[in-house]
Amino acid sequence: MRTTERRRKEVLAVLIIIYLAIFVLSFSIGRFPVSPIELMRILLSRILPIEKTWAAQAEAVVFSIRLPRIAVSSLIGAALALSGSIFQIIFRNPMVSPDVLGCSAGAGFGAALALLLGLSGLGVSLSAFIAGLAAVMIVWRIGSVMKGNHILGLILSGIMVSSVFQSATSFVKLVADPENELPAITYFLMGSLAGAGKDELMLIILPMVIAFIPVLLLSWRLNILSLPEEEALSLGIPVRMIRAIAIASASLMTALTVAVAGMIGWVGLVIPHITRMTAGTDARTAVPASVLLGAAFLTAVDTASRSMATSEIPIGILTSFIGAPFFLYLIIREGRR
């Protein structure tokens, strides 16, 4: 029985190494590559007295451009993967993704509306964030009316509210100026980290940490939420309260990702599957593992998106190209079992 415990620690150690390797490598790839050794020296120079042997430009690239962007991609990847994992556990359905409660659709509408009104940067992010959370609150309110099956109520109202917000986004696109606003809205909804910098990092870092902490603390109890409701209740845990905390945290994470990076699909669906395949189902391991895998995956894909072509490819397109075939593979594999 100790072997499982040891294996859990080993898996997490391997995932930390993979993440760190991708973190370092993503500095060395791009229009201004910074080698791993140089990167270490630049990073350490902030806390240790190290002789400056690098160009001032390298330091500016590391601290002003690449570090904020890698931090944002890591946070967003972690948030998408973790919120996907949470929703898949509490809705007892491995096909559920972070947008199940209408959060992405709401946030997408908020961003589109802000762009239509001529806002930019933080204005767009804040509008997306507020609309994303508003969508989840509406879903929660409607879902609560259905007394018998709370989870079914949430999923059905999630579909309905998503549909309304998607229609509203289409309407915004219809009335948007086709020269400037429409391309901006379309590009934003494709999902991109091109604009991710220090401001975006500062906007999301604190709420992200606030959303991550309760989930990490409650991770073992999330396992119990994956049981049928009456079984979970019979174990004496406050099922509804834990579920509400988990949904609030996951929705906050999803709204923040859309606010900063637009719609990045598939990460929240596929990474939880890969997590279960590599780290097992126990949420004590799966929660930190999905954070690490999501961060590693999105940072790697973002590095590819900014370096594969002369102009940056929206990351949402790349995650779809990778995620959809992988999901097809999962379906075929499951069918063969």
Partner 1 sequence: MRLETRNISFGYGRRRILSEVSLLIEGGHIASLIGRNGAGKTTLIRIIMGFLSPDEGSVLIDGSDAISMKAEDRAKAIAYIPQYSSMVYRYTVLDSVLMGRAPHIGLFGHPGKKDIDKAAEALAMLGIEDLAERPCDELSGGERQLMMIARALAQDARILILDEPTSSLDYPNQLLVMETISRLREKGYSILFSTHNPEHALMVSDTIIMLGMDGKAVSRNPEELLDGRELSSLYGRKLCISRIETGKGERIVCVPE
248 part of the interface to partner 1, by CB under 8 A:
no
118 part of the interface to partner 1, by CB under 8 A:
no
Cα(62)–Cα(203) distance, rounded to whole angstroms?
Answer: 20
Q: Which x/- pattern, by CB under 8 A, does the window 279-308 give for partner 1?
A: -xxx-x------------------------
219 part of the interface to partner 1, by CB under 8 A:
yes
Half-sphere exposure of residue 221, counting CA atoms within 13 Å on the CB side?
Answer: 18
Q: Which x/- pattern, by CB under 8 A, does the window 71-90 give for partner 1?
A: ------------------x-
Question: In this complex, which beta carbon is closest to partner 1, that of residue 204 or of residue 269?
Answer: 269
Question: In this complex, which beta carbon is closest to partner 1, that of residue 52 or of residue 92?
Answer: 92
Stretch of 40-48, 109-117, 204-212, 215-223 contacting partner 1, by CB under 8 A = 215-223
| Member of 233, 322, 324, 330 binding partner 1 (CB under 8 A) | 233
217 part of the interface to partner 1, by CB under 8 A:
yes
| Member of 3, 31, 174, 311 binding partner 1 (CB under 8 A) | 3
- Rounded to a whole number of angstroms, the minimum distance from the CB of residue 206 to partner 1 is 21
Question: In this complex, which beta carbon is closest to partner 1, that of residue 12 or of residue 119?
Answer: 12
Cα(28)–Cα(18) distance, rounded to whole angstroms?
Answer: 16
Question: In this complex, which beta carbon is closest to partner 1, that of residue 152 or of residue 202?
Answer: 152
**Residue 52 burial (10 A CB sphere; 0-12, 13-18, 19+):** exposed
93 part of the interface to partner 1, by CB under 8 A:
yes
Interface positions, 172-201, toward partner 1 (CB under 8 A)? none
146 part of the interface to partner 1, by CB under 8 A:
no
| Member of 49, 148, 178, 236 binding partner 1 (CB under 8 A) | 236
Cα(43)–Cα(24) distance, rounded to whole angstroms?
Answer: 11
234 part of the interface to partner 1, by CB under 8 A:
yes
Question: Per-residue b/e over 9-46, b at no fewer than 16 CB within 10 Å?
Answer: eebeeebeebbeebbbebbeeeeeebeeebbebbbebe
Which one, of 149, 334, 140, 156, lies nearest residue 228 by Cα?
A: 149
Category of 96 on φ-ψ map: left (φ > 0), alpha (ψ -120 to 50) or beta:
beta
| Member of 235, 244, 308, 331 binding partner 1 (CB under 8 A) | 235
Stretch of 70-78, 204-212, 230-238, 261-269 contacting partner 1, by CB under 8 A = 230-238
Q: Which x/- pattern, by CB under 8 A, does the window 265-284 give for partner 1?
A: -----------x---xxx-x
Q: Which residues contact partner 1 (rule: CB under 8 A)?
A: 1, 3-4, 89, 92-94, 217-221, 223-224, 226-228, 230-231, 233-238, 276, 280-282, 284
